[in-house]
Structure 1
């Protein structure tokens, strides 16, 4: 009996099971979509005329602590892939280890950065040993789901956009061997932006290109690099991601369809990144640095064919009409859209000051010098990955407090619990009034998101990463509190003494109110006249809110609510309002048009 013939790239077109095959793919990330909605989103992808699902695999979520692996519930990657297969979709898997994906540190776990010599995405032994350990756990979960074993996985991508990094010529060979030696036997791919194709390839692996328009020579360059091979746009960007303080990116539907039609007319395979973006729940978002540090928003709507909450868009309908001509059978009817509602506003009832929650901190540690989050002795020596860290020391004078660019990423500065300023990438100094009496200096430092792209990924330590000085004298003797805001921390808050909001709150603080629900339904949570912080619903971290926009509403999935009482808790840094509001529709702010070169 001959072996089943999977996806092949032996000529100018793909073949699958020996027959010509045009990849019509769409990216939907299981970790950005509530598990209760996986089936809905995949059915909508199939009803649009796509035949292939692509997804990344985020190492930082699957191994949050060294040697601790999570593949359950929201992170049940195998169930997601099997579901795609049951629905008649093929799967292209992109397991990294680096994925970019606008995730914190590009999906790499922050505990890697405890090694001061760390060189991520190279053959540095500290990195390769961590990858090997991760792949020893991950790849055996993937191999049974390959095409040759009756599963839906027809191709696997090596790392991601290595041509833009390219610090070690042996690295991609290492990743290739790491996959092959563990039983990956389907077609191997790489993907790169058009400018970096020449640096991203590896022998025996098919190259693909990422792009948004046809004005560059990416496809021609790809054809020249590997003649007589099928062409594929692994990431066709129907929109773009947003950053805090920026504008909401949109890409005109008619322009997108025109480009897609030209690609398909040429027989070029395509994958929409994203087909459905979803949400950067919790502290998942990454950041970019184009000369200025720019963290990404909680929403990952991406102006994709399916909205953040799973609605159909003009892009979806136009694309479905186009793709219907590339499908031999009539397309299935698109599933009904989830209902949404604007609940009545929730009145905030109680608060507890951050200063009163320090006993709930994961770790309280003292040292002569400030220590970065990753090196705080929290979580069984894995350090702190996300959230906030409070640094405190006593001062006996005043003058200029200088961060020396060691604050990452944003610090609220307090003297005896009174806010006196903010330190961030733009503001390095704060003036402190003179006094000879002893005062407590506190810096509440937030990891706003590690860079997910670029050459500086080895240097993404958060918190305070070196000396800070007062009048040019380095400060010493710090107390540090790990405020990671994990579920265990949020649970500990419940047993603390909360105050009625009739008493004037002391900031920063946690505020809470109760949303009473009859039938749980999707909604968007809005915080007009609030400032900055994090929202928790029934203990679940919904994401960050920030008045600078562009995003003004957080997607709250109905499955995360329950009939009856639901606790809404908001961590607010500077200014709370009396109510928490809800809306039926998102509010993504003023728009800016792409394409992106």
Structure 2
């Protein structure tokens, strides 16, 4: 009897110890247990995907961790799961993870490991799209701007300067995702080789270089490419599954894909659920009936699908990209995308229609849709003081002096990495006045001042203005804004910002500049507290900083800032850059995540380029502008 009792106690002790270890060592629980239950990763050797010997269909949705506050990652993933999705896809933005050459950031909202672990906990597989180029309507397609300091740079090629930088980046990135691969116990079932290279195709050796870089560092899961119909033949490669992107099925698409790779699973990597917006345009909307009809047709054909986007999020800060084909068009701050989940994570008609459709492809009932986080209005921002940009300049450090203009990326700032985002001020002494002309060398737009008095704006379309004739010497100031680098097309190597060449007065190139780097980063905004601010005046013309308080007397919830009456600028709350606003629309509100708000007093700082609005207030619902249906 005693021997049996001791045996039971010993067994109980072992069980308690095992339980403790499982709770204490989460990595052990998350990876080893999952790994022991798995045999093989995703296979694409037949007409269906096979995972662990079982046929599967990928029902995916795109969500980018860098566009969603980390506190909301799990909420969005649970909503994915409740909609019937089994896979999450995400890009990886090089320009955020390596903002300066050799200086890496994988913390907080850039903690890719935590994001992948959350996906695993929720029960979602992951398709990782690490680039190095991602497009994504993201500044320079995710490539860091310091690459452009090299005047001979050839992005997305095997040019040594780009190849070496890519290798160094992958040396840091890939080890952080290796143990999140499916065969090692993690959620990653596939990894994309670059992105839509068939639409670029500048180097026949490039894709093999990227594939080798991934495999050599230990990527063992299924590799795939992603292209639209025009690029798929140039973007596909031997031994890598080709997938296709579209919004509307054309009869030839799937047969064309089969001609490139027969008897392979069909995967729509990007089915575009909506579209993105640009400043001065309309808010794009894609009809829900058309969307459901196309998704249904794809699934009836036995194909797998990924919804781009399922949840778009926000282009916080200066990270929105641009397009430049016939004309330059900068993207807005919101990346709502008319997706099934709104910018703030709310349900749409698309969500519930998709949930109804996708439930047919599950043997078990879908989990209930999570309760939505309520939105709040906190009244007006109490604007208290203002500070002219001209009063800040003398305290921003000694300006860089140069006989000729120097572009933003080649300025000797940020430890030799140049300036990436924001504004650059060029100041020169002129005599008299006359015709000022940029000859297309202002990127992307600028206000021109004479002795701090505005004389007009210039951009790609409006390249000249008249400076009033006054005898004597005066300061000419050109405040240039980087409105966002092109993220798609063949102009990537031509994305240097600021003054990229000479500007002219009376057809004579200006010389001997003082150049101020105004990147408007968190450090810069925090430093404004050390200045002597002025009380608000009734008439205060920009460029001016305004500061005020947003009072929150309860638990913080998501809200939106209504920018009606304000002209153009950026807004910070508690030092975080919410993004750009511009009265040409379509977007009129800025999303403020509740996780960025503090109980009590919240500091709001606005940099207004022209003229302040009469007030600034919060609202519960966004206004993204007049809608235009995508066809």
1:48 equivalent to 2:88? Answer no
What is the CA distance between 1:266 and its match in structure 2? 0.9
* CA-CA distance at 1:504 after TM superposition: 3.7
1:4: Cα distance to partner?
Answer: 2.0
Distance, in Å, in 2 between the alignment partners of 1:241 and 1:104 is 14
Within the alignment, does 1:83 sit opposite 2:113 as a pair? no
* Cα shift at 1:505: 2.2
Counterpart position of 2:598 = 562
Deviation at 1:291, TM superposition (A): 0.6
Pick the aligned partner of 2:269 from 234, 242, 257: 234
Secondary structure at the residue paired with 1:381? coil
- Return the offset for 1:218: 2.3
Query: What is aligned with 2:387?
Result: 352
| One of 168, 182, 196 as aligned partner of 1:147 | 182
Equivalent residues of 2:139, 2:320 under 8 A apart: yes
1:25 alignment partner, one of 60, 63, 78: 60
Alignment partner, residue 576 of structure 2: 540
| Bigger shift: residues 341-350 or 309-318 | 341-350
Q: Distance in 1 between matches of 2:253 and 2:111?
A: 36
Contact 2:138 2:487 in 1 (8 A): yes
Deviation at 1:345, TM superposition (A): 1.2
**Greater Cα radius of gyration, structure 1 or 2:** 2
Q: How many angstroms does 1:181 deviate by?
A: 0.3
Change in CA separation of 1:240 and 1:207 when aligned onto 2, cut-off 3 Å: same
The equivalent residue for 1:285 is 320
Q: Is the 8 A contact 1:362 1:482 kept in 2?
A: no
1:6 is displaced (CA, Å) by 0.7
User: C-alpha displacement at 1:202, in angstroms?
Assistant: 1.5
SS for the counterpart of 2:394 is helix
Paired with 2:604 and 2:133, the residues of 1 have a C-alpha distance of: 34
Contact 2:324 2:491 (8 Å CA) reproduced: no
2:612 to 576, 579, 582: 576
| Contact 1:367/1:478 (8 A) holds in 2 | yes
Shift of 1:82: 0.8
1:196-595 correspondence to structure 2 within 5 Å: 196-215=231-250, 217-361=252-396, 364-502=399-537, 504-518=539-553, 519-595=555-631
Structure 1 Cα separation of the partners of residues 238 and 393 of structure 2:
54
1:21-80 CA distances to partner (integer Å, 9 max, x unpaired)?
A: 100000000000011100000000010000000000000000000000000001001100
TM-score (norm 1): 0.98
Contact 1:363 1:378 in 2 (8 A): no
User: Are residues 525 and 482 of structure 1, via their aligned partners in 2, closer, same or farther at CA, if it must alter by over 3 Å?
Assistant: same
Q: What is the CA distance between 1:363 and its match in structure 2?
A: 6.3
570-579 or 474-483: which moved more? 570-579
CA distance in 1, matches of 2:395, 2:144: 24
Query: 1:105 aligns to what?
Result: 140
Specify whether residues 216 and 497 from structure 1 end up closer, same or farther in structure 2 by C-alpha distance, changes over 3 A only.
Answer: farther
Q: CA-to-partner distance for each residue in 1:473-525, whole Å, 9 max, x for gaps? A: 11000001011011110011111011001364242000011011012111010
Structure 1: give runs of 5+ residues left out of the alignment: none
Contact preservation (8 Å) 1:524, 1:583? yes
Q: Is the 8 A contact 2:563 2:616 kept in 1?
A: yes
Instruction: State the aligned residue count.
Output: 595
Shift of 1:329: 1.4
- Report Cα offsets for 1:460-480 as digits up to 9, x if no partner: 000001111111111000001
Partners of 1:217 and 1:557 in 2: CA distance: 44
Judge conservation of contact 2:591–2:622 (CA < 8 Å) in 1.
Answer: yes
Per-residue deviation, residues 430-452 of structure 1 (Å, max 9, x unmatched) = 11112230010001000000000
- Kindly indicate whether the alpha-carbon contact (under 8 Å) linking 1:362 and 1:483 is maintained by their aligned counterparts in 2: no
TM-score, normalising length: structure 2:
0.93
8 Å contact 1:360–1:493 — kept in the other structure?
A: no
Cα distance, 1:290 vs structure 2: 2.6
Q: Which residue of the partner structure matches residue 8 of structure 2?
A: none
Alignment check: 8 A CA contact 2:540 2:611 kept: no
Q: Distance in 2 between matches of 1:364 and 1:441?
A: 15
Contact kept? 1:362, 1:489, Cα under 8 Å: no
How far apart in 1 are the matches of 2:432 and 2:85?
66
Offset of residue 361 of structure 1: 3.1
What residue in structure 1 maps to residue 7 of structure 2?
Answer: none
How far apart are residue 119 of structure 1 and its match?
0.1
The answer to whether structure 1 residue 136 and structure 2 residue 171 are counterparts is yes
What residue number does 1:11 align with?
46
After superposition, the CA RMSD in angstroms is: 1.2
**Contact 2:38–2:185 (Cα < 8 Å) also in 1:** no
Pairwise CA distance, 1:362: 6.4
User: 1:360 and 1:201 mapped to 2: Cα distance?
Assistant: 53
